Structure 1
Amino acid sequence: MRIAILGATSQIAKDLILSFAAHSQHDLVLYARRPEVVSQWMNNIGLVDRYLVADFTAFSPAEHFDALLNFVGVGNPAQAAEMGASIFDVTLKYDDMALGYLHQHPDCRYIFLSSGAAYGASFDEPVNETTQASIAINNLQPQDWYGVAKLHAECRHRALAPLPIVDLRVFNYFSHTQDMEARFLITDIVRAIRDKTALKTSSDYIVRDYLHPADFYQLVRVLLAAPATNTALDCYSLAPIDKATLLTVMQDKFGLLYEIQHSGVAVNATGRKPNYFSKNKYPKEFGYYPSFSSINGICNEIEKYFMQDNLY
C-alpha cells in the first residue's frame, strides 16, 4: 500500500512509522509542517531515504494513495492549553485537506486520530457503546476546545457515510520514545525515577488505559486490511490501571519516590477525568486483540527508555 502520514512529527505517528518500517513493505510519504525535523529524525534512527518526506504544500490530489493517516494536532496537555482556540482551525484545515482528497479518490482509506476527549463526558464512569457525548453548550470552557474540535471532525466524518473513514479515539498512550518533559502523569513518573526526585502528585483517584505502540500498530494494520467502513473506534489495552496501583508498581519495580499532595500539581488541559477509558470493545470485530495491559506496556516501555541510554 502507498500511505500518506499527515503530521509526521507527532509522537504516535513516529512510533507507527517505526513499526511500518520494521514489519511491512508499505510505501510511506511523510508530510509535516516542519519536514526538516522529520528528515533529521529519520537520519537519527537510521531510516534516511527509506521514505519520502515532504511539506504539506506538496500534498496533491494528483498523488496516488491507498490510505491517509491524519495525526495533525497536539499530544501534550500543556501544548493544548497554549494552543487554545486555534485547535479548531488547525484540526479543520488538515481534515479538509484529507477529505478533499477522498472526494476525488473515494476508495482511499482515511484514518483520523481522534481522542477520548471527544465524548466531553465527566468520566465519573468509563465510557461504553451507549455513552452519549456531553457538551456544556452554554458554559464552554477552554479545556473543552480540544474535545469539541475532535467531536466536530467526527460528526463531519459520519455525515460522509459512503467514504471509508475511521476515527480512532486514543485515551492514553505511552512510548519510550516520547518527550519525557511533557506534563502527563506517566512522564512525570519517568522523570522522577530518572532524576531520583520525589514525584509530587495529587490524591485524586483516577484510572487510565495506556495503549502500547505495538497494539496501536496492530489496530491500524487490521483496519487497513478489513473491508472499508465509516465508523469511530475506542482504543484500549488488555486492562486499565488505577493511579494507586501504578504508583505502587513503579515504586517496587523502579524505585519511584512520591509524595501525595492535595492539589495544584496536575496539568488538566482537557478537564478532570477520573475514569478516562472505554469499555467499548468494538475494535475486536475487526480482528484487534491487544497484547499489552496498561501496566505491562508501561513497564516494557520504561525499561526500553532507561536501557537506550543507560539512564537507570
Structure 2
Amino acid sequence: MMRIAILGATSQIARDLIVSFSAEEKQHLHLFARRPDEVAKWLASAGLSGRYPVDDFSEFAKQKFDAVINFVGVGNPAQAVAIGNSIFDVTLRFDELVLDYLKTHTACRYLFLSSGAAYGSGFNEPATRDTPAVVAINNLAPHEWYGVAKLHAECRHRAHPELHIIDIRVFNYFTRTQDIDARFLITDILRAIRDKTVLKTSADYIVRDFLHPSDFYGLVRGLLAAPPANAAVDCYSRAPIDKPTLLAAMQEQFGLRYEITEATVGVNATGSKPHYYSLNTRAADFGYQPGLTSLDGVLIEAREVLLLASESVGV
C-alpha cells in the first residue's frame, strides 16, 4: 500500500483526486490543510467521513510517506489577483516544507502542482518541448507573479536531481465541482445558461485544453507507478478546443445565448493567452494516455453542473 500525503486538501482539484482515489484500496491518503475542519466537513458531505486522517501542516513532518502531492496555491483568477505578491511566500513556504522532508526521506516521491503559466504570459503559440520560459525581468507585471512563483519552484526542483520530483503543469481544468462563480470563460458560459442570460464575450480567438478529472487521475497514477524521476510534465487532453467551437457546442447542447462584444470581458489574472495549451506530450513517457477531448470533458461535467443547478431551484 502506498502512503500519500495530500497538501492543500481544500483545493478543488485535490478534492476531485481524493474522490478518484477513494474508489481503490491500494493507496492510503493523509490529508493536510490550513483549515482541517473544513476538509473533515467536506469528507462527510462526500460520503467519505472517517475514511482518511486530516491534520494541519504541523503534523506533516512527523509521518512517513511514499509520496507527497502539493496542491497549495490558488485555482481561481480572482484569487490570484487578491493574493497579490504573497503568492511568492506561500509557494516557497510549502515547497520548502516538502523539500526539507525529502532530505530525510529520499525515497519519497514529490508531485508539485505547477502551471502552464510557468512558461510566461505569452502563448501566441502553444507550448512545446522546446518552448523557453520567458520572464520580463526588467518590467515584471503583477499578472506574471503567479507564473514566476511556479517557475521558481520548478527551478528549485531541477537543482535537486537526486530527488524524485515531478512538476505537473496544469493549463485548464474543468470539473462539475468547479466554483461556478469563478471568473473563467467556461464558468461565465455556465452562469449564462443557468440564469438564462446572454453571455457577453470578446471576439478574441483563444484555444484551450480542458483536462477532465478522470484524466488528471490517470496522469497522477501513471506518475506514481513509473520509475522515479526528476522532471516536469504538461497536462493535456486528447484534443484542445477553440472558443468559437466551444460557444457553438454549448449553444447546441444547452441553449447558450451569447453576444460578441468589442470590450474585454473577464479576469486575466495571469495575462491574455491566445493559445494556452501544450503540445508537449512528455507525460506519455510515464504511461499517460488521455481518454477524453476537451469538448468531451466539458460536456460531461457541464451536464452535471446544470442538472445540480436546476435541482437546487426545484426545476
Residue 304 of structure 1: aligned partner? 304
Residue 28 of structure 2: aligned partner? 27
Larger displacement relative to structure 2 (193-202 or 237-246): 193-202
Aligned ranges 1:1-312 → 2 under 5 Å: 1-60=2-61, 62-308=62-308, 310-311=310-311
> 8 Å contact 1:121–1:133 — kept in the other structure?
no
Count of aligned pairs: 311
User: TM-score, with normalisation over the residues of structure 1?
Assistant: 0.98
Distance 1:263 1:4 in 2: 44
> 8 Å contact 2:121–2:144 — kept in the other structure?
no
Deviation at 1:265, TM superposition (A): 1.3
Residues 172-219 of structure 1: per-residue CA shift (max 9 Å, x gap): 000001111100000111111111111111110000000000000000
Letter in 1 for 2:49: V
Residues 265-306 of structure 1: per-residue CA shift (max 9 Å, x gap): 110000010000000111111111000100000000011223
Distance 1:88 1:121 in 2: 17
Secondary structure of the 1:233 match is strand
Distance 2:188 2:106 in 1: 43
| 24 and 197 in structure 1: CA distance in 2 versus 1, 3 angstrom threshold | farther
Residues 3-47 of structure 1: per-residue CA shift (max 9 Å, x gap): 000000011000000000023431111100111111110111110
Give the root-mean-square deviation of aligned CA atoms. 1.0
Residues 79-116 of structure 1: per-residue CA shift (max 9 Å, x gap): 10111100000000000001111011010000000000
Letter in 2 for 1:186: I
| 122 and 176 in structure 1: CA distance in 2 versus 1, 3 angstrom threshold | same
> 8 Å contact 1:202–1:266 — kept in the other structure?
no
Structure 2 unpaired stretches of 5+: none
Structure 1 unpaired stretches of 5+: none
User: TM-score, with normalisation over the residues of structure 2?
Assistant: 0.97
Deviation at 1:121, TM superposition (A): 4.4
